[in-house]
Chains A and B, each alone.
Chain A
Amino acid sequence: MTSQNHSKQREPLIRMVKRDHLPAKKAWLIRIIGLLLALVVCAVLIFSITKLNPLKVYTTMFGGAFGSTRRSWQTIREAMMLLCVSLGLAPAFMMRFWNIGAEGQILVGGVATAGCMIYLGDKLPSILLFAVMLIGSIAAGALWGFLPAFFKARFGTNETLFTLMMNYIAIQLTSYFVAVWEKPYGSNSVGIINSDTNAGWFKPLFGQQYGWNVVIVLVLTFAMYFYLKFSKQGYEIQVVGESENTARYAGINVKHVIIRTMLISGAICGLSGFLAVAGSGHTISVSTAGGRGFTAIIVAWLSKFNSFVMILFAFLLAFLERGASEIASKFNLNDYASEMIEGIILFFVLGSEFFINYKLIFRTKEHAQNETLKEEAHS
């Protein structure tokens, strides 16, 4: 390249600049615009591929999620599950500990719960049985959280790989227990546990089958909000997440905080395994976690670890999933079509976060600005 080429070069066409701060109102406006744009893009896509009326598709989608009381409750149950896992992930991610092992933590919590139901279902009184199931699931999840935290604190191992690999151990463990508890023989599944006695099943609350799920998760939501925002331990988590050096400077025992926080994180994820088994599925399989451990990461980050905002995003994602599967069956589309819609909407929701954090500066504008600045300087 010759130097003449260089003299022709100008500043880059578009530059990204990190925004200092955007008022909450504007940020929400950007999010809503993002959502609307997603719907428009989806509409174009739906029409051009399937020739269906997009509005009809959207109505069906909504109907799939909230069309009847039963459907609404299923969406609520799904949202509560997601919310519970997100609550578990929040303290870990706030500490900048990349816990992508929620999937495994849910599974081991579920396995512990199912084990208690199978072996103790007819031996213990109901209250005691629930206590053992609860403690078992929490302990199992906490162990799955403790191991990567211990190795990170002690030896500086990479928690991302560690938690990820713990997922595979949990999956293998689950398939082992599925084989042990197989019923009926040869079905390669555990089947509905205690279908005759309903031992260890959540009883309906306020006449609602999933009443307990809602109550437990909402209590946790409040607890996590106050824990992260107002407790000394929550403060420590924030400091460690911000800078380990600052934490050391403040006299915080960083290793201690890492292990403690991951015990909590794993425990809550384990608890969601308890909800999944005792509160809705009444069975255990390798798909009990169903990818929620990963979806919940999106929920936790989008809500910036604010428990109450998490409710909103948990519902959005639960709605998308239920609605998408509904249109797939209603319009005889295959699963990919509905997943595309889900994907496009998520893409735009996540994309709006980019525009909340960054602004784009175009060259022409920048030049004009520079010129005026120069003029001001001269005068």
Chain B
Amino acid sequence: MILTQTAETKASAIQMRGITKTFGEVIANNSINLDIRYGEVLSLLGENGSGKTTLMNMLSGIYFPDAGEILVNGEPVIIRSPKDAFDLKIGMIHQHFKLVDVFTAAENITLGSQQKGRYDKKEVARRVREICSKYGFEVNPEQKVYTMTVSQKQTLEIVKVLYGGADILILDEPTAVLTLQETEKLFSVIRNMRADGKAIVIITHKLNEVLAVSDRVSILRHGEYIDTVNTKDATEASLTEMMVGKKIALNITRDDIPNKEKRLSVKHLSVMSPEGVKVLDDINFDLYSGEILGVAGISGCGQKELLESIAGLQKTEAGASILYYDASDAAEKQLIGTNPKQIRNLGIHLSFVPEDRLGMGLIGSMGMTGNMMLKNYADGKSLFLDRKQPKDLAEKIREELEVVTPGIQTPVRRLSGGNVQKVLVGREIAASPAVLLTAYAVRGLDINTSYTIYNLLNEQKKSGVAVVYVGEDLDVLLELCDRILVLCGGAVSGIVDGRTATKEQVGALMIKR
């Protein structure tokens, strides 16, 4: 390999060629090429699930590629473990920090280092201070991690990587947890590291940050490599188009159902996370029968909390109201402060397909029969389970939705992702819901199964069910949904008409700040 080094092209740090990684049926990365250079900041841009983190995890030794080649400093290498990555001077700062809470900063920094000899506290502190003054970090080597703010922890992670001698740094969504000022500070540090000749990659989906800090941008979409452009030649609009792609015609049917009735009215809904961060901020919207309301947004913008609040699984802040209007007598029922059992006892048919299928919607170790009765096993006075009814239902769903399983007693954990979802959606629809909440209903599914799910949702809509569809694929949202509610940072940034809205419009609302 010949390096032609001009003023424009910096020395190559890492080259990835034809990298492919699959998880079961899902192709997370399909033959990706990437170029990381010293003295440069590269942004890795893409929507959720586009394969950015997976790709970088193959550099940090967490995953091993199925195919393809990685070159570090022009030499082909095999990275089998984080230690191999460390030896190659590659350091990754993960989205979820990997620090020991009860240790001090200095102890965390030296943790796992391969240095021989005595642990010299003073020497460590001296080197930490040296790194800090060089790049402009602020770290107190004696401070315990549990007393640190999120931003301090992140700083510590970066210092730790630098202390280990890394020349190539990968930051996974570094600004997701930072305030505006903290982000500014981080960027100035990144610029200092770049000036020092380090190769830096930031994984992100925030366009303004891409433009502010990076030299080049590589774009991934649905596990495919799209392009790499120089930041100075890019605009927000051009990057958005590459990130979300041109509108694809999917030909999903969308009927207009007349005589819509108000089914649900959400007012002033706010939710605090256990860490005390506002994850939902004063949400207001109405949901009607015979419509599919799409919910769009970057992941982690409150979608999960929104659905779980309606389903009675989430503690909400005072002042919130979720009113349910019964179709038969138009009686109002308050859902705030109820749990799933109480909602059922109120006579409300609320079905919920959660994002975490095996961790929340189903019991992985049980067969289809056992899963069919999850919500109504307690019906009736008998102390013992009625297995006949769920067994019949399992047979019916297996046949109608063409669930591929060795038998209805086979633990659902062993089924493929698509079949797991068919079991879950099948059960929730069989409960003849008035409101159907779905979270990422087609995530990880192949195209056929996805269409099965779209058709099921459309049938529900036609029969007068109020459907909520939380999705990540804008093309699908725009073709399937009657209205689209866009969440951004826990707040509603807009509700648009699914028939007239454009992809750019929704994309812009998703990153409106």
When distances are taken between beta carbons in the complex, the residues of chain B under 8 Å from A187 are none
Contact in complex: B360, A232 (CB < 8 Å): no
When distances are taken between beta carbons in the complex, the residues of chain B under 8 Å from A249 are 311, 313, 340, 352, 354, 360-361, 374
When distances are taken between beta carbons in the complex, the residues of chain B under 8 Å from A6 are 75, 77-79, 84, 87-88
Interface string of A216-253 (1 = CB under 8 A from B): 00000000001000111101001100110110111111
Interface string of A1-12 (1 = CB under 8 A from B): 101101101111
Near A by CB (< 8 A), chain B positions 318-372 give: 339-342, 344, 352, 354, 356, 358-366, 370
B375 located at the interface, meaning its Cβ lies under 8 Å from any Cβ of chain A in the complex = yes
Contact in complex: A10, B313 (CB < 8 Å): no
- Nearest-CB distance from B335 to chain A (Å)? 14
Interface string of B358-397 (1 = CB under 8 A from A): 1111111110001001110110001111010000000000
B76 located at the interface, meaning its Cβ lies under 8 Å from any Cβ of chain A in the complex = yes
The listed residue with most B CB atoms (<10 A of its CB), out of A9, A11, A245, A251, is A251
B511 located at the interface, meaning its Cβ lies under 8 Å from any Cβ of chain A in the complex = no
- Nearest-CB distance from A227 to chain B (Å)? 9
Question: Are A251 and B384 also in contact (CB < 8 A) when A4-B75, A21-B414, A238-B365 are?
Answer: no
Question: Are A248 and B362 also in contact (CB < 8 A) when A6-B87, A21-B414, A232-B378 are?
Answer: no
- Nearest-CB distance from A367 to chain B (Å)? 13
A20 located at the interface, meaning its Cβ lies under 8 Å from any Cβ of chain B in the complex = yes
Contact in complex: B377, A232 (CB < 8 Å): yes
B73 located at the interface, meaning its Cβ lies under 8 Å from any Cβ of chain A in the complex = yes
Closest to A20 in B: B414
Contact in complex: B78, A7 (CB < 8 Å): yes
- Nearest-CB distance from B504 to chain A (Å)? 37
In the bound assembly, the distance between CA atoms of A27 and B330 in angstroms comes to: 58
When distances are taken between beta carbons in the complex, the residues of chain A under 8 Å from B313 are 248-249
| The residue from A9, A239, A248, A252 contacting B78, defined by CB atoms under 8 A apart | A9
B194 located at the interface, meaning its Cβ lies under 8 Å from any Cβ of chain A in the complex = no
In the bound assembly, the distance between CA atoms of A233 and B360 in angstroms comes to: 19
In the bound assembly, the distance between CA atoms of A244 and B72 in angstroms comes to: 45
- Nearest-CB distance from B30 to chain A (Å)? 14
- Nearest-CB distance from B502 to chain A (Å)? 36
Contact in complex: A7, B77 (CB < 8 Å): yes
When distances are taken between beta carbons in the complex, the residues of chain B under 8 Å from A251 are 339-342, 344, 375, 378
- Nearest-CB distance from B80 to chain A (Å)? 7
- Nearest-CB distance from B338 to chain A (Å)? 10
When distances are taken between beta carbons in the complex, the residues of chain A under 8 Å from B374 are 239, 246, 249-250
In the bound assembly, the distance between CA atoms of A11 and B66 in angstroms comes to: 12
When distances are taken between beta carbons in the complex, the residues of chain B under 8 Å from A230 are 384-385, 387
In the bound assembly, the distance between CA atoms of A231 and B363 in angstroms comes to: 17
Question: Are A3 and B377 also in contact (CB < 8 A) when A9-B78, A239-B363 are?
Answer: no
When distances are taken between beta carbons in the complex, the residues of chain B under 8 Å from A246 are 359-363, 374
When distances are taken between beta carbons in the complex, the residues of chain B under 8 Å from A239 are 363, 374
Contact in complex: B78, A235 (CB < 8 Å): no
When distances are taken between beta carbons in the complex, the residues of chain A under 8 Å from B79 are 6
In the bound assembly, the distance between CA atoms of A70 and B349 in angstroms comes to: 64
Closest to B357 in A: A246
- Nearest-CB distance from A24 to chain B (Å)? 13
Interface string of B51-66 (1 = CB under 8 A from A): 0000000000000100
Contact in complex: A3, B339 (CB < 8 Å): no
Closest to A4 in B: B75
In the bound assembly, the distance between CA atoms of A238 and B356 in angstroms comes to: 18
Question: Are A3 and B385 also in contact (CB < 8 A) when A238-B363, A246-B361 are?
Answer: no
In the bound assembly, the distance between CA atoms of A231 and B373 in angstroms comes to: 13
In the bound assembly, the distance between CA atoms of A115 and B138 in angstroms comes to: 67
Contact in complex: A235, B352 (CB < 8 Å): no
Near B by CB (< 8 A), chain A positions 306-344 give: none
When distances are taken between beta carbons in the complex, the residues of chain B under 8 Å from A245 are 356, 359-360
In the bound assembly, the distance between CA atoms of A242 and B352 in angstroms comes to: 19
In the bound assembly, the distance between CA atoms of A232 and B390 in angstroms comes to: 14
The listed residue with most A CB atoms (<10 A of its CB), out of B72, B80, B311, B384, is B384
Contact in complex: B384, A11 (CB < 8 Å): no
Closest to B338 in A: A251
In the bound assembly, the distance between CA atoms of A9 and B83 in angstroms comes to: 13
In the bound assembly, the distance between CA atoms of A126 and B365 in angstroms comes to: 47
Near B by CB (< 8 A), chain A positions 268-306 give: none
In the bound assembly, the distance between CA atoms of A375 and B76 in angstroms comes to: 23
Closest to A21 in B: B414
When distances are taken between beta carbons in the complex, the residues of chain B under 8 Å from A233 are 383
In the bound assembly, the distance between CA atoms of A235 and B379 in angstroms comes to: 13
In the bound assembly, the distance between CA atoms of A218 and B378 in angstroms comes to: 29
When distances are taken between beta carbons in the complex, the residues of chain A under 8 Å from B64 are 11
When distances are taken between beta carbons in the complex, the residues of chain B under 8 Å from A238 are 363, 365-366, 370
Closest to B386 in A: A232
Near B by CB (< 8 A), chain A positions 1-42 give: 1, 3-4, 6-7, 9-12, 20-21
Question: Are A3 and B72 also in contact (CB < 8 A) when A9-B84, A231-B385, A249-B354 are?
Answer: yes
In the bound assembly, the distance between CA atoms of A226 and B311 in angstroms comes to: 33
In the bound assembly, the distance between CA atoms of A242 and B367 in angstroms comes to: 13
Closest to A229 in B: B385
- Nearest-CB distance from B400 to chain A (Å)? 23
When distances are taken between beta carbons in the complex, the residues of chain A under 8 Å from B361 are 246, 249
When distances are taken between beta carbons in the complex, the residues of chain B under 8 Å from A10 are 78
In the bound assembly, the distance between CA atoms of A124 and B160 in angstroms comes to: 74
When distances are taken between beta carbons in the complex, the residues of chain A under 8 Å from B340 are 248-251
Question: Are A231 and B359 also in contact (CB < 8 A) when A6-B84, A249-B354 are?
Answer: no
Closest to B74 in A: A3
- Nearest-CB distance from A363 to chain B (Å)? 12
Closest to B352 in A: A249
Contact in complex: A232, B383 (CB < 8 Å): yes
When distances are taken between beta carbons in the complex, the residues of chain B under 8 Å from A4 are 75
When distances are taken between beta carbons in the complex, the residues of chain A under 8 Å from B76 are 7
In the bound assembly, the distance between CA atoms of A378 and B283 in angstroms comes to: 54
The listed residue with most B CB atoms (<10 A of its CB), out of A3, A238, A253, is A3
Closest to B114 in A: A1
When distances are taken between beta carbons in the complex, the residues of chain A under 8 Å from B385 are 230-232, 235
When distances are taken between beta carbons in the complex, the residues of chain A under 8 Å from B375 are 250-251
When distances are taken between beta carbons in the complex, the residues of chain B under 8 Å from A253 are 341
Near A by CB (< 8 A), chain B positions 81-115 give: 84, 87-88
When distances are taken between beta carbons in the complex, the residues of chain B under 8 Å from A12 are 80
Closest to B70 in A: A6
When distances are taken between beta carbons in the complex, the residues of chain A under 8 Å from B359 are 243, 245-246
Contact in complex: A235, B373 (CB < 8 Å): yes
Question: Are A235 and B377 also in contact (CB < 8 A) when A3-B75, A6-B88, A249-B340 are?
Answer: yes
When distances are taken between beta carbons in the complex, the residues of chain B under 8 Å from A235 are 370, 373, 377, 385
Closest to A248 in B: B313
In the bound assembly, the distance between CA atoms of A253 and B76 in angstroms comes to: 56
Closest to B78 in A: A9
In the bound assembly, the distance between CA atoms of A233 and B79 in angstroms comes to: 49
- Nearest-CB distance from B431 to chain A (Å)? 12
- Nearest-CB distance from B458 to chain A (Å)? 25
Contact in complex: A9, B80 (CB < 8 Å): yes
- Nearest-CB distance from B413 to chain A (Å)? 9
In the bound assembly, the distance between CA atoms of A1 and B79 in angstroms comes to: 13
When distances are taken between beta carbons in the complex, the residues of chain A under 8 Å from B344 are 251
Q: Identify 13 new A-B residue pairs, CB closer than 8 A, beyond the known A231-B383, A242-B365, A250-B375.
A: A1-B87, A3-B73, A7-B76, A9-B84, A11-B80, A231-B385, A232-B384, A239-B374, A243-B358, A248-B313, A249-B311, A249-B340, A251-B342
Some 17 contacts from A to B, beta carbons below 8 A apart, are: A3-B73, A6-B77, A6-B79, A11-B80, A12-B80, A232-B383, A232-B384, A235-B377, A246-B360, A246-B361, A246-B363, A248-B339, A249-B354, A249-B360, A249-B361, A251-B378, A253-B341
- Of all A-B residue pairs in the complex, the 8 with the closest CB atoms, nearest first, are A251-B341, A251-B340, A3-B75, A245-B360, A6-B77, A1-B87, A250-B374, A242-B363
